[in-house]
């Protein structure tokens, strides 16, 4: 009889030794998920057009980008293409509409 009692205690100890850390790990993982889901800021090491927007909210990121200047830079960008016959063609951002909506860019960075 003593042997059976010892075996029960050993299996209970093993179950507790494995079960408790497993449950704590699951709870920690769920807690991290809840924190990240409720986090209103952009993840670290994020830049938009050379502007660091790490850990900023969407509105703070828009202010940091200076939305009007961001759109103007995109519209004023120029590319000059030189052809073999010696002619050149200059295309601006406004001509090809390469400008991005700053709000859309911030939303994309935030959603990542």
Model confidence at 36, pLDDT cuts 50, 70, 90, reads: low
Counted domains in the chain: 2
Q: Are residues 23 and 35 in the same domain?
A: yes
Torsion, CA 41, CA 44, CA 46, CA 50, rounded to 10: 110
Q: How many other CB atoms are found less than 10 A from the CB of residue 48? A: 19
Q: Could you tell me the residue range of the domain that residue 4 belongs to? A: 1-39
Same domain assignment for residues 90 and 110? yes
Considering the domain architecture, whether residues 28 and 67 belong to the same structural domain is answered as: no
CA distance 79 to 56: 32
pLDDT digits over 69-108, tens only? 766 777 777 888 888 999 998 888 777 776 567 778 788 8
Kindly state whether residues 3 and 29 are assigned to the same domain: yes
Q: Are residues 89 and 109 in the same domain?
A: yes
**Integer Cα distance of 110 and 95 in angstroms:** 29
Give this prediction's pTM.
Answer: 0.44
Do 34 and 47 lie in a common domain? no
Closest CA to 57 of 109, 2, 1: 109
Query: Which residues are registered as beta bridge partners of 80?
Result: 90
């Amino acid at each position: 009889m003593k042997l059976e009692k010892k075996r029960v205690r050993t299996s209970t100890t093993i179950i507790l030794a494995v079960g408790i850390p497993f449950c704590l790990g699951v709870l920690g993982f769920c807690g991290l998920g809840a924190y990240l889901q409720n986090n209103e800021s952009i993840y670290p090491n994020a830049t938009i057009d050379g502007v660091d927007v790490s850990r900023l909210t969407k509105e703070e990121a828009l202010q940091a980008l200076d939305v009007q200047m961001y759109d103007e830079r995109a519209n004023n960008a120029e590319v000059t293409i030189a052809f073999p016959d010696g002619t050149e063609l200059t295309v601006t951002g406004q001509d090809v509409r390469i400008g991005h909506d700053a709000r859309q860019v911030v939303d994309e960075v935030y959603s990542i």
